[in-house]
Amino acid sequence: MTIKGAYAFYLAEKKIADPHKRKKQLERFARSEKALLSITKVDVPLKNVKRIHARKLRDHYL
């Protein structure tokens, strides 16, 4: 499973029924997915996401 696949799977499993809250959920996850993909540069399998990627993502948010 890749990063994009994981985000899609999670959003499918945790779908919110209220349209307004669902829109906010999609926007929030799209932002975090975009940030992670900008760090990894490509859509990599989850097992290839390393601590260095997590550190860079943390630094991006700080």
Q: How sure is the predictor about 25, in pLDDT bands with cuts at 50, 70 and 90?
A: very high
Contacts of residue 54, Cβ cutoff 8 Å, sequence gap at least 6: none
The torsion of the CA quartet 10, 14, 15, 17, rounded to 10 degrees, works out to -170
Average pLDDT estimate for 10-16: 95
Give strand pairing partners of 45: 2
Torsional sign, CA 20, 25, 26, 28: positive
Average pLDDT estimate for 2-19: 95
29 closest CA partner among 12, 41, 44: 12
Q: How many distinct structural domains can be found in the chain?
A: 1
| Mean predicted lDDT score pLDDT of the chain | 94
User: In terms of residue numbers, what domain contains 52?
Assistant: 3-61
| Global pTM value | 0.83
